[in-house]
Amino acid sequence: MIQETFSPPNERPSAPPGKLWMEVIHLEMLEPPPPPPRNPPIAGLAITHIESPTIEFYRWIYDAVGAKWMWHVRKQISDDALAKIIQDPKVEIHIFSQEDTIVGYSEIDHRIPNNAEIAFFGLLPSFLGKGLGPFFLDRTLRLAWAKGVKRVWLHTCIFDHPKAVATYKKGGLKVFKHEGFLIDDPRSDL
């Protein structure tokens, strides 16, 4: 049986100094979302595919969206390693905007045959709570399925937005794995 909730803090193992308890929940879709696409909650919303983004721009949007949620993985790799990922033609970076203002982004990784991983998805903090997340998630899922894959998946963790898992489930994703482990506290490296 898959555990769909995270352990209460008092049930997690103690983390030694310099470590954090990480709980990750993995979700997937095995069929595309049904039509019709979700309607935009406000006017002027757009998604733009950015081919071969610069390292500087990518690092800026990654941090602007993810700092609040302790995103750290891409901060810990070199510019060369990051370029190999984000400038790969099988990795798509999509910028969310309203009019001329950047709202957030998604990264869809098609490097595994028949799969699309939504590697990163999120909004800048000032755009949270406005109903934009479900709309952009729906559009991101449809973009992921547009490549003829058989599976779309993503993972999130206890440091993400409190409504992230519920939003993903409402978008049609289902839990397939839940895991917990100790990690090095990324805040000590930043």
> Per residue, what are the HEC states of 75-112?
HHCCHHHHHHHHCCCCEEEEEEEECCEEEEEEEEECCC
pLDDT digits (tens, 9 = 90+) for 54-111: 999 999 999 999 999 889 889 989 999 999 999 999 999 999 999 989 999 999 999 9
**Per-residue pLDDT tens over the stretch 27-51:** 999 999 999 999 999 999 999 999 9
pTM greater than the 0.95 cutoff: no
pLDDT band at 190 (very low <50, low <70, confident <90, very high): very low
Q: Rounded CA gap, 68 and 104, in Å?
A: 13
Amino acid letter, residue 20: L
